[in-house]
Chain A
Amino acid sequence: MQLDAKIPDGAIADKWTNYKFERKLVNPANRRKYDVIVVGTGLAGGAAAATLGEQGYNVKAFTFHDSARRAHSIAAQGGINAAKNYKGDGDSIYRLFYDTVKGGDFRAREANVYRLAEESVNIIDQATAQGVPFAREYGGLLDNRSFGGAQVSRTFYARGQTGQQLLLGVYQQLSRQIGLGNVALYNRSELVDIVVVDGRAAGIVVRDLVTGQVTSHSAHAVVLATGGYSNAFFLSTNAMACNVTAAWRAHRKGAAFANPCYTQIHPTSIPQSDDFQSKLTLMSESLRNDGRIWCPKSPDETRPPDQIPEADRDYYLERRYPSFGNLAPRDIASRAAKIEVDAGKGVGPLKNGVYLDFSDAIARLGRDTIEERYGNLFEMYERITDESPYDVPMRIYPAVHYTMGGLWVDYELMTTVPGLYAAGEANFSDHGANRLGASALMQGLSDGYFVLPNTISNYLAPLLGTKPVPTDHAEFQVAEAAATARFAGYLAIGGTRSPDAFHQQLGKIMWDYCGMERTKEGLEKALSEIPALHEEFRKDLRVTGSGEATNQTLEKAGRVDDFFELAQVMCLDALTREESCGGHFRAEHQTEEGEAERDDAHFAHVAAWEWTGDPANPTRHTEPLEFENVHLQVRSYK
C-alpha cells in the first residue's frame, strides 16, 4: 500500500492557492452528469452535501438520524476558532497554524493544518451570512473568547450552543438544496457496507432502520463524514448512536485507518455517578476561562469545598503551568486531574473528580455576567447533579470525547480507495495527537464547505461521460447478501446477553488499558481479552425482535461488532507507538516531571493500518511527517 499524501509544492502559504489553480475543474453544465454520495449530515457531511448541491452535482445524502439536524456536531458547546484577529491581539493564520501543529504535539501534516487555518476565516463569514447568531459586543461586532492552548482570543461562539447553531446553519443550507431538488436525503438509513469495483469506490449499501430493508446506491464518488469512534469506550461524551461502522466498513474494503490510538480525553466532563450510566456529559472547555480548577491538598480532606481555606487547596494547573494555567491544553489538563485523583485527592461521593470553582469569577464579575456566559451550562449541570455551580464548585473529571485518528486521507481528503473520501472527525488529518478546543467545528466545516468541494473535481473531471456502476453489478449483490446475512446472523445466535452488555465490557477493557495512560503490559492484556470477548459475543449475543421492523437492539449489535475489531487496532497502534504524544500517553515514556516524552527520531510519522482479513494482524504502514515551518520542540505550557 502506497501512502502518497500528494502535498502540493510551494511555500506553506501558497500550497492551497497553487492546488486550487492546478486541480482539474468540472464545468458547471457538466456537474449534473455526476452523482456523489455523502454519508453523514453533521457539519462536514451536511456542508459538503449542501455545497456540492449548490455547485450543481447530483447529491444523495444519507443519515441514520430522523433528520439532518441531529448529528452530534450539535452538542459542541464552546466555540469555533478562526484567525480573524478581530481582537487585535496578534492573531494570524500563521499563529493559528502554529498553535494547532504544536497543540497536536507535532503529529499532524503541516500543509493540511495551514489550509485549515486559512479557511477558518471564511467559515465565520459563511456562517454569519447564513444567519448563525454568533455572540456580539454591544457595538454590534462579533465577540471572541479564549480557549485552551492559545494565548489569543480567537474563539467565536453562540452562547454555549455553538455546535448547534453551526449545524442548524448547515442544515438550513442543506434543506434549501433538498427543497430545490439538488440533494436527495435518505434519513433513518445506516451504511452497512462500501462497494469497490475495479479498485474504485462504486457506492454504498444501506439498511433502512424502519423496514430493515437493505439496498444499494451507486455514484461516481463517495464521501464519508460519519464522525469519530469514542464510543468504543462505551462511556464517552459522544451521542448514543455514534459509531465506527461506516469508517470500519471502508477500512475492510481497503481504506487505511490512521493513528487509531489518538483519542482525546476531555478534562471537564461531569464525573460518573454509578454503573448504570449510559453516557458522560461534557461541560464546555470555555468554563476554564473563568473557573479555577483545584483539589484539596490532603487526601483525607472531608470538609465541604467552601470551608476549605485557600492554604489547603491545590490549584494544580496554575501551579504546574503558570503561563497557561487553567487554560492548559486538554491532554495536559486531563492527565493532571488523573494524577490528583489517583493520589486520593478526588472530590465528590466517589472521590472521582476535581473542583471547577467559579466563586472568584462571580465575586469579580458578578453573577449576572457569569450567567450570561455560562447560564445554560450551569443549568445543565444542576439538572444532572442537583447542585448549583453558583453556590458550590462544579465537580469535573476527564472523559473520552473525540478521536483524532480516523481514515487515512491525502491532501485531497481521499482515502487509499480512489473515489472514497473522508471528512470531519472521520478522517485523521488535522489535529495530530491532540485536538485543541474549538477546532473540531472548524475542521468539519472547512472540510465540508471549502476543501472537499474544491478537491473532488480533480477526481471527477476525468470520469466525464462515464456512468456510475449499476447497482445490479455482482459486487453490490454480494455486499447486499453479506449485509443481510450479517444482521440475520445476530438475530439467530439466541444467546443470553444484550449488545449493550458486551459493549459495556469492551468499554471497560478499553478505558482500563487504552485510556488516559497506557502501558505495554496493559495493552497486551487488552489484546488478549478483546478477541476472547468478541468470540463470546458471536456465541452468546441475544437480540430480540425482528429484522423487518425498527429494531434498535439489532442496530446496536452491528455497531458493537465493528467496535470489537476497531478496538484491537487501537490497542495495537498504542502498543507499537513507543512514545508519548498528545492524547497517547505511554507510562514508559515520560519525563521526570511526568510530562509526555515524544520520540521524534522514531515516531515522527503517521501510522496507517491496512486490513488483512484478520483484525488481530493488520499491516502497519507509515507516512513520514516533515516539519519545515514549525520546528520540532518539546511542547511546553509552563
Chain B
Amino acid sequence: MKELNLTLKIWRQDGPDSNGSFDTIAAPGINDEMSFLEMLDLVNERLINEGKDAVVFDHDCREGICGTCSLMINGQAHGPQKGTATCQLHMRKFSDGDEIVIEPWRAAAFPIIKDLMVDRAAFDRIVESGGYITAETGGAPDANIIPIPKPVADAAMDAAACIGCGACVAACPNSAANLFTSAKVAHLNLLPQGQAERHARVEAMVDTMEEFFGSCTNHGECQEACPKEISIDFIALMNRDYLAAKFKNRRTLSRK
C-alpha cells in the first residue's frame, strides 16, 4: 500500500447552459488500493466537511457493468487502463505527485447536466427506434427450437457486451456513435431470431443515430476507449447491412 498526493483539476459546471471551469482541488493522502471513484468519494467527503458542494458524477454498480460511470481522465475516456471502466480503475495506476485532469464526456449529443454528469438519452432514442426483436410476452416457442451455432451466439454476445456508457462517443474526434449503434445492430442482426427485422432495424437505428451524432471516419479511437473492448468490425457489419437494406426487397426476405 502506497500513499499518493495528487492534484485534481475537475470540471465544474452548474447546468447545461452555464459556463464551466476547472476547479483545482488538492487530494493528499490517497491510498493506492482505492478505486478511482472511491478517491472521488473521499474528495467529496472532504468538500462537504469544508461546507462546499460535492462534485457531481454518475456512477452506480462499481463493477464495470451498469455503464453509468463516465469521466475523461487526463483526456482518455475511462482513464489509462485498457478495457476498464472508470469504476474499476484503481489508484495504483497513478503516481505520487500526479496532476489528474477530470472532465465529463465531451459531445454535443451529451449535454452536461452538472459538473461531470451528462445526459446520454440520445442512446435510448436509438434503441427505441429499432434496437429490439419484436417478441411480445407470451408467444415464444421453445428456446431450443432454433439451434444457433456457437460461433454465432458468441459473436452476438461479443456485441451485446456493450454497457452503453458513451466512451466511444467521447473518444471519437467526430463524436460519432457508430460503435454503440453497431454493437446493438450486430447483436440482433447476427442472430436467427433477428433476421425478420434485420433491414428495417439497421435503417431506423442508423437514421436515428445520425440525428444526434457525428459521422464515423474510421479513426478507431472508440475501440481503444471501449471498456468492453468491442471491435470496430461491428461497424463494418452495420455499414454492410445498412447498404443492403437500401436495396433489399423486403417481400423476398425469406429467400436466401
Report which A residues bind B (CB closer than 8 A): 47, 50-51, 54, 65-72, 74-75, 84, 86, 122, 124-131, 133-142, 158-159, 161, 163-165, 168, 171-173, 175-176, 178-179, 187, 210, 239-241, 273-274, 276-279, 281-282, 379-380, 383-384, 386, 449-450, 453, 496, 498, 500-501, 542-545, 549-553
Contact = CB atoms under 8 A, between A and B. Distances in A.
B104 interface: no
Nearest to A241: B60
A386 B114 CA distance: 33
Interface stretch (B136-144, B212-220, B234-242): B136-144
A451 to B, nearest CB: 11
Interface in B7-38: 14-15, 31, 33-35, 37-38
A66 B45 contact: no
Nearest to B117: A550
Nearest to A498: B48
A549 B112 CA distance: 13
A545 B53 contact: yes
B4 interface: no
A550 B37 CA distance: 18
B37 A133 contact: no
A551 B52 CA distance: 12
B66 A75 contact: yes
B68 interface: yes
Contacts of A124: 143
B182 to A, nearest CB: 15
Contacts of B114: 210, 549-550
B54 A545 contact: yes
A299 B89 CA distance: 34
Contact of B67 (A70, A380, A386, A450): A70
6 contacts: A72-B61, A126-B140, A140-B150, A210-B113, A450-B137, A550-B114
Contacts of A544: 47-48, 51-54
A51 B34 CA distance: 42
B121 A66 contact: yes
Nearest to A242: B60
A129 B66 contact: no
B53 A131 contact: no
Contact of A380 (B47, B56, B63): B63
A161 B161 contact: yes
A384 B45 CA distance: 22
Contacts of A496: 49
A161 B58 CA distance: 22
Interface string B79-114: 001011000111010000000000000000000011
Contacts, number: 219
A453 B137 contact: yes
B119 A66 contact: yes
Nearest to A171: B127
Nearest to B191: A131
B150 A172 contact: no
A141 B144 contact: yes
Closest 9 CB pairs of A and B: A140-B147, A172-B132, A179-B128, A129-B140, A128-B143, A129-B135, A125-B140, A133-B157, A550-B114
Interface string B189-222: 0010110000000000000000000000000000
B193 A175 contact: no
Interface string B172-196: 0000000000000001100101100
Contact of A125 (B81, B141, B148, B157): B141
A179 B188 CA distance: 18
A175 B124 contact: yes
Contacts of B119: 66
Contact of B137 (A51, A241, A274, A553): A51
A67 B123 contact: yes
A450 B68 CA distance: 29
Contacts of B124: 67-69, 175, 178
A501 B113 contact: no
A498 B49 contact: yes
A140 B124 CA distance: 31
Contacts of A127: 143
A179 B129 contact: yes
Given A137-B150, A158-B157, A550-B117, 19 more contacts: A47-B137, A54-B136, A66-B119, A70-B67, A122-B140, A129-B143, A130-B193, A131-B132, A133-B153, A142-B144, A159-B157, A176-B134, A278-B37, A278-B41, A383-B88, A549-B114, A550-B56, A550-B114, A552-B56
Given A66-B121, A138-B150, A384 B88 contact: yes
Nearest to B130: A179
A379 B99 CA distance: 28
A65 B123 CA distance: 14
- Name, among B1, B47, B135, B143, the residue most crowded by chain A CB atoms within 10 Å (CB to CB): B143
A70 B128 contact: no
- Name, among B119, B124, B193, the residue most crowded by chain A CB atoms within 10 Å (CB to CB): B124
- Name, among B47, B135, B147, the residue most crowded by chain A CB atoms within 10 Å (CB to CB): B135
A431 B217 CA distance: 52
B42 interface: yes
A127 B137 CA distance: 9
Given A67-B121, A74-B65, A135 B153 contact: yes
B164 interface: yes
A133 B129 contact: no
B37 to A, nearest CB: 7
Nearest to B47: A544
Contacts of B156: 131, 133
- Name, among B88, B90, B137, B161, the residue most crowded by chain A CB atoms within 10 Å (CB to CB): B137
Nearest to B156: A133
A142 B48 contact: no
Contacts of B65: 74-75, 161, 163-164
Contacts of A386: 90, 92
B43 to A, nearest CB: 11
A133 B146 CA distance: 13
- Name, among A240, A274, A500, the residue most crowded by chain B CB atoms within 10 Å (CB to CB): A240
Contacts of B132: 130-131, 172-173, 175-176
Contacts of A161: 65, 161
B32 to A, nearest CB: 10
Contacts of A187: 121
A125 B148 CA distance: 14
- Name, among A66, A67, A141, A384, the residue most crowded by chain B CB atoms within 10 Å (CB to CB): A66
Contacts of A179: 128-129
Contacts of B92: 386
Nearest to B84: A383
Nearest to A173: B132
B153 A66 contact: no
A240 B61 CA distance: 6
A383 B93 CA distance: 10
A544 B51 CA distance: 6
Contacts of B1: 274
Given A129-B193, A161-B65, A239-B60, A69 B188 contact: no
Contacts of B137: 47, 50-51, 54, 126, 173, 449-450, 453
A500 B45 contact: yes
Nearest to A546: B53
A279 B136 CA distance: 37
